[in-house]
Structure 1
Amino acid sequence: MKYWAYLFGLVLASAACRGIGQNTYNDVPDTAMLAKAFETYREPAIVHRRFKHADIEPLILKRRDGGAFEVTQLGVSVLKKAIYQVKYGQGPKKVMLWSQMHGNEPTATMALMDIFNFLEGAGDGMDNLRNLLKEQTSIYFIPMLNPDGADIYNRRNAMDVDLNRDARAGATVEGRILLEAAKRIQPSYGFNLHDMNIYYNVPGTPNPVTIALLAPAYNAERDINEVRGNAMKIAVGMNRILQGYVPDGVAKYDDTHSPRAFGDNFQKWGASTVLIEAGGYKGDPEKQFIRKLNFIIILNALIEIAQGSYAQYDIAEYEALPFSDSKLSDLLLRNVGASRDSIDYKVDLSINRDEHTVESDYYVRSRITDIGDLKENYGYVDFDADGYHFMPGNVYPKVVKGVGDISPEQAMEWLRQGYYAIQVANAPENRHHSLPLMIFSGRAPTPASPNLGRDANFFLAKDGKPAYAVINGYLIDLSSPPNETFKNYVW
């Protein structure tokens, strides 16, 4: 494929069809209107992150029978799953949005299903917005670019290639589908929709980065031309909305230029491209609140593109956003008393709960990720353990028949007695459980110690008695019933 000729042609075509500010539209939707639209048009079939291609495909195909969209199959993945394009509008401003090129980054795909529902709506006082989009934009959605990865909740495709590092080589069938769509459409705007891990924080604060924004750099020098500058302005409009929902919860993603990445290349090819990374938000493990934020900022950005109103924003406002830091963990214990070789000391412990996918569910396995002076670090749960001492737990001496024979009350009582692990004779076929215990059916868990990389299963003791339990990275106050939803597993 003659990529250089293609890229040069795309740059010229994109520049020719730009036309910022040619239309004025004064009825700008406010945040309350967009939030109401989300609640009205939220797709009820998708309620968790680990949906599969078979869940999304019917939601796409049903659009073929209505008059709002044009649905086209662009090709198939490595494992022969269909990849679709959903087009809305017939206007001169061409916009491309693609989601889930990383299979385990599903938040924007959920939001696109909600946007599809909104665009099909009528008679709700927002038809003027739909008409604006129809007349001024042609929007090309490619939801779930990596269906094979999505089906196993994996970042890479079935060839083990990161699709977002395939813009230059075009080695994957999915990467070529996106490249060919860009060549055919020649967009003026692009939205590269992703998730990032939940451990990014806004620098100097305990706030998770709920949304990271980026106008990717089109060269190593990170120069700003009109194309990238317009992307920065679109991001400013997004940030202004987000500050009303997650004050100080927005940052920029790393803008180091990657010559292999799609966002960087779309920017180079002449499409003002914004990267949206859905991060973390406390109490939102399935990212349903962040799904709402994606719906609002994407829809508002499309409206601002249609009316040209993003041109009002100042690039300096984008540049003032801090870059994401990475000093957040699931649990941070400060000033934990510990002993080793007759040496008593205090130490901070950072603990993360790593997710392991099983079909449409997952369990977590925790580990100690850092030890020492962590004063500049933070936790979703941040606990000052001054006055408490690290205490390994014991394995309950009797074998219990099965998980169903253990009540939550009994589990808590065993924890208060210093037992953190229970052996069961019969492991259930579905090995997930929600009890605040380590449950095993074979070999006993490794004894705990305050060392890097070790499983986080121990007690915080006061006067030699357990006061708190740390079970699989969850902090449990033994003086009251637990208020967590545990994602544990029978080992």
Structure 2
Amino acid sequence: MKLFLVSIGLLAATTCGNPFSSNSSSGKGLQVDSSQWNEMHAKYKEKALFHRRFKHQDIDSLVKVHQENSLFAVSQIGKSVEGRAIYELSYGKGDKKVMLWSQMHGDEPTATMALFDIFNFLSGKNDGFDSIRNILQSNLELHFIPMLNPDGAERFMRRNAQSIDLNRDARAGQTVEGALLKARAKAVNPRYGFNLHDQNIYYNVPDTKNPVTISLLAPAFNQERDINDIRKGAMQIIVGMNTILQQYIPDAVAKYDDTYTPRGFGDNFQSWDASTVLIESGGLKGDPEKQQIRKLNFIIILNALLEIAEGSYGQYDAKGYEDIPFNASQMHDVMIRGLEFGSDSISLVSDIAIRRGETTVGRDYFIRGRVEDIGDLPESYGYDEVEAKGMKLVVGKLAATPVDSLKNISKEMAYDLLKKGYMGIQVKGLTPAQVGSLHNLPIHIYNKPNFATTSFIDLGGTANFYIGDSAGNLKYAILNGYLIDLSKPLAEWPALKNRVQ
């Protein structure tokens, strides 16, 4: 398997091909190539959703727009614990029923964005793609629930307002939202299901440095993880999805853990005779807001629906599902290999793994970098990596002279200070509104007197230090868990998400 870090450049992948071609006699159905999928998404991407921390009110307003379209039957099927509307959008007049639900975990919004892109596509016409819409509308009855957990989405947290994981409520139905999904499943009685989630960005394809960008699963329906015709159908659909994904993100697809979960909705839908596919949106370097992964969701969901409509997913050998590896969990944001550090009396040369945690502030967030692991870590990987053999830790300094105002600190000034070994600068007289405000400057802004950079590497500790060569030259800065190559110009430094302290 190839060893490379998947990046957003791969998502421009295209293949040579003619306009839509049909191979119905061979069971392959309508064929859509990569360039056509790219064109579709570029045309129908919902521009009102452009970051992960959108709110219920954003969804509510978009649903009302689609409610005016006679193609959709839009209904408020219930309310959340805190009274936010939960909607179902139905489309099509066929006899194959499909249910798709997203954001049952409030901080897992990637597929929700993709669903609204799909709604826009289904609403289009006279653009060269009507043959796809006609097949879907004639053969399918689609039921979309685009935000099952609006209270969690409001806070950008996994659980609902009662702190219950909705995806562990399929058996008991204790929550308003879980009971609602269960009731809709019984009422609709779908033949197919799509359970749409986000997984953390620290999964990798086993034995590679490739982050898992999309993880797929045909959930088990019993403890023995048997394969009946229902689960086999989900596996075949997944093989079709993986075939497309390999064109965009080769060697960046894995399977999610298939341990039977009697409380989980995917497992229960499978036992309710709905061939159910779990899609987990993972990580992709250079795509922190998952806009490129959103595009992949759009493509693989629409293509799967097309293959369900035509029955062409039956062309795939379910054995291909077993060829997809399971997730490994060896990724970090930064891996530093062979760095010299330790105390004055006892030196140490070792590897350091760093991860960055997000803290939500309204529709935005800031980062706190931390040391995740220390030791012999050759089997661990990073989105960014440094071979630090012969290099050592250098403690960052604080600027000696405070500044009077945040307005006096430009990116260029911060860039110059950081390159000279200064990781923080004090601002006098910060207003209450400024303390805790967010910024993207490549330096720490602080007013509290106890602020300090990282003087020693401690498990779970801060990640603010330099990496220097044996001559004392600074080569890299680890600033709040971000790796900054000091030899590169400011324009090539990563987009930082910091907070005034």
- TM-score by length of structure 1 reads 0.93
* 2:39 alignment partner AA: K
Contact 2:342 2:457 in 1 (8 A): no
Contact 2:92 2:137 in 1 (8 A): yes
Contact 1:331 1:381 in 2 (8 A): yes
Which residue, 382, 386, 389 being the options, matches 1:386? 389
- Note if 1:454 corresponds to 2:454: no
Partner residue of 1:317? 320
Partner residue of 1:4? none
Partner residue of 1:432? 438
- TM-score by length of structure 2 reads 0.91
* 1:176 alignment partner AA: A
Number of residues of Structure 1 aligned to a counterpart in Structure 2: 471
> Structure 2 unaligned runs (5+)?
1-23
Provide the secondary structure at the position in 1 that maps to 2:326.
coil
Distance 2:49 2:359 in 1: 20
Which residue, 105, 109, 117 being the options, matches 1:106? 109
- Note if 1:489 corresponds to 2:499: yes
What does 1:399-418 correspond to in 2, within 5 Å?
399-418=402-421
Please state how far the C-alpha of 1:416 moved relative to its aligned partner: 3.2
Distance 2:28 2:326 in 1: 33
Distance 1:387 1:438 in 2: 28
- Note if 1:248 corresponds to 2:254: no
Distance 1:477 1:118 in 2: 42
Please state how far the C-alpha of 1:410 moved relative to its aligned partner: 2.0
Partner residue of 1:444? 450
Partner residue of 1:477? 485
Which residue, 135, 147, 150 being the options, matches 1:147? 150
Please state how far the C-alpha of 1:469 moved relative to its aligned partner: 1.3
Partner residue of 1:328? 331
Please state how far the C-alpha of 1:306 moved relative to its aligned partner: 0.4
Contact 1:23 1:308 in 2 (8 A): no
Runs of 4+ off more than 6 Å: 21-25
> Structure 1 unaligned runs (5+)?
1-20
Instruction: Give deviations 1:336-378, integer Å, cap 9, x for gaps.
Output: 1113252222111100111111000011000000001111111
Which residue, 279, 282, 303 being the options, matches 1:279? 282
Contact 2:29 2:312 in 1 (8 A): no
Please state how far the C-alpha of 1:427 moved relative to its aligned partner: 3.4
Provide the secondary structure at the position in 1 that maps to 2:163.
coil
Percent identity of the aligned residues?
A: 54
What does 1:41-60 correspond to in 2, within 5 Å?
41-60=44-63
Contact 1:438 1:490 in 2 (8 A): yes
What does 1:268-307 correspond to in 2, within 5 Å?
268-307=271-310
Residues 440/88 of structure 1: CA separation in 2 closer, same or farther (3 Å cut): same
Residues 35/447 of structure 1: CA separation in 2 closer, same or farther (3 Å cut): closer
Distance 1:24 1:474 in 2: 49
* 1:490 alignment partner AA: V
Contact 1:461 1:468 in 2 (8 A): yes
Provide the secondary structure at the position in 1 that maps to 2:61.
helix
Contact 1:98 1:144 in 2 (8 A): yes
Please state how far the C-alpha of 1:313 moved relative to its aligned partner: 0.6
Distance 1:64 1:475 in 2: 46
Deviates more, 1:189-198 or 1:413-422: 413-422
Which residue, 156, 168, 191 being the options, matches 2:194? 191
Which residue, 215, 218, 221 being the options, matches 1:215? 218
Partner residue of 1:66? 69
